[in-house]
Chain A
Amino acid sequence: MFKDLDPILHSQLRLAVVSLLISVKEAEFTYLKEKTNATAGNLSVQINKLKDAGYIDVIKQFKDNYPQTICKITPLGIKSFEEYVKNLQAYLGVKK
């Protein structure tokens, strides 16, 4: 059962990012960094992996002349997250 868990999501930081994004419309990179306590470099790498998997959209823009990175979960990301949670519950249910 354990091996069925989506490897993209079964990583602490990536799962934290997706869990944060699942309940908001969009969030700035700085917000994700603050809430996950991750380093900018590590977070950036993991965000790119989620982006490449099509789980999140990353929008780079300028706000008051400062670069701003906004992350947003995609429908595929939502579906994968739901699937992941379902598998987790199934796994924990089997264990009980």
Chain B
Amino acid sequence: MHNQENDFSPEQSLKLITSMIETTKNSLKDRSHYFLLWGWAVMTACVSQYFLKVVMNYPNHYLVWWITPVVLVVQIFFIVRDRKKEKVKTYINEVSIYLWTAIGLSFFAASFIFSKIGWENCYAVYIILYGIGTYVSGSLIKFRPLIVGGIICFPLAAVTAYLSFDHQIIMLAVAILISYIIPGHLLRMKFKKQNLANV
């Protein structure tokens, strides 16, 4: 773009403003790997826990959740890598960071509360947290599968509280499939298509 001083019309000026603002709309980065990382990790933990508890009758079935700190390390690696590549900070990115930090801290605080009051209904609360995160994230980037996935988590959480612990594990797996895994893969596909279109 050349610097043509004051020699362009107000119509051109308005067009330029619109096109530049449109450009920033496409600055949303593909963050589906976070959903897929946590989605598949939680799914693996749920299936393993169900297998150990229900099929094998193994008393320490909850040990599968030690996958969480491992995933956290991978996530930190992703965050550092994404920050290095980041050339622009959008308000949507900023709000998303605050949102997921709050959700992460909620999981952390909730784990202390459940250690004190018992873990019987922990999954119902966790499903609500998944719902809040995906619903707000989806709304911010206007991505319907995340919005729908997030909303479905709320009735799922309510139903989960009335089920046995074994069934609660299955409900958690269903919730993570609907709110993280399916929207995560769809989001990835959307960005891949967008990138191909831009080539």
- Chain A residues near B (Cβ < 8 Å): 2, 5, 7, 10-16, 19-20, 22-28, 30-31, 34-38, 42, 45-46, 63-64, 85, 88, 91-92
Contact = CB atoms under 8 A, between A and B. Distances in A.
A92 B1 contact: no
Contact of B3 (A12, A19, A30): A12
B139 interface: no
B88 interface: yes
Given A25-B91, A28-B87, A11 B4 contact: yes
A66 to B, nearest CB: 10
B13 A15 contact: yes
Contact of A37 (B1, B11, B13, B21): B1
Contacts of B91: 24-25
A92 B24 contact: no
A88 B10 contact: yes
Most chain B CB inside 10 Å of its own CB: which residue of A16, A23, A91:
A23
Given A24-B89, A25-B89, A30-B87, A12 B20 contact: no
Contacts of A27: 87-89
Nearest to B11: A92
Contacts of B87: 27-28, 30-31, 34
Closest 5 pairs between A and B when the two form their complex, measured CB to CB: A19-B20, A31-B87, A25-B89, A27-B88, A28-B87
Contacts of B25: 23
Given A12-B2, A25-B90, 6 more contacts: A13-B1, A13-B3, A22-B21, A24-B90, A25-B94, A88-B14
B90 A85 contact: no
Contacts of A35: 20, 23-24
A5 B10 contact: yes
A5 B9 CA distance: 11
A28 B88 contact: yes
B16 A16 contact: yes
A5 B14 CA distance: 12
Contacts of B89: 24-27
Interface string B1-35: 11111101011011011001101110100000000
B116 interface: no
Contacts of A91: 10
B81 to A, nearest CB: 12
